[in-house]
Homo-oligomer: A and B are copies of this chain.
């Protein structure tokens, strides 16, 4: 039976290249053994599989089929008695053992009661006008938002980016699911229905943390407030061609803080990832401070 898998190239595995080498597998498992529990890295390097519904008690059995079954048995070549972890995308995480493998699926028995993991850190909600991006850039934006732990991404329709294709939203939804599995997030990322920018100020007013990417605004790391117990926040990124002045003014009036992202000219997806990353790292630094104060 092969050792624990390297999930770093999960989406590459979906396209069929050969499984990682044994040495990499062992190394990756060892590396993950040192990881924090915050974003649900696999404990002890167990391979992790998604199941939309999970039983809750030790001894119960869940059926794994479809893509996840294929990866379990054909790519990672796991079999009876191999230990795995299961997650449902809603916070449940549980260790299990493969009891049976047939040609359509496998049965996994829970080795413990399922745990419920609370979301950690500030929950960031991304509103970005990426509907008209071409060439895979929207895909990258979604994938990287998922990796960086965004809670949700909502396509934003603005005066200068007023469309997003319906089939694009469907396709991005499938990409979110693949990315959630690949980076082993215990909580799904929500890809929400597009909203018009006129509906955004109401959302901003309800949020104590709302940041608007704006060339020429004060640097983001200069304007972040002292750490607090805020549980969620909002990021807003405009389209190619930027927001209109009126759009910016309305968002500022609702409470959004314009923040600068450095001297370089950034594309929509780069600005999104740069801002999300900065906020995630800020939240991480302050979460650690709060932990140390206890």
Contact = CB atoms under 8 A, between A and B. Distances in A.
Interface string A182-203: 0111000000000000000000
A134 B20 CA distance: 12
A265 to B, nearest CB: 5
Copies in the complex: 2
Interface residues of A, number: 68
Contacts of A9: 134, 240
Contacts of A244: 27
A285 B222 contact: yes
Interface in A156-193: 160, 183-185
B6 A264 contact: no
Interface string A26-43: 011001101110110100
Contact of A277 (B140, B241, B265, B274): B274
A241 B6 contact: yes
User: Quick one: which of A8, A38, A41, A283 has the most chain B CB within 10 A?
Assistant: A8
A244 B267 CA distance: 35
Interface string A280-294: 111111001100000
Given A27-B241, A277-B277, 5 more contacts: A23-B160, A121-B262, A219-B281, A221-B282, A222-B289
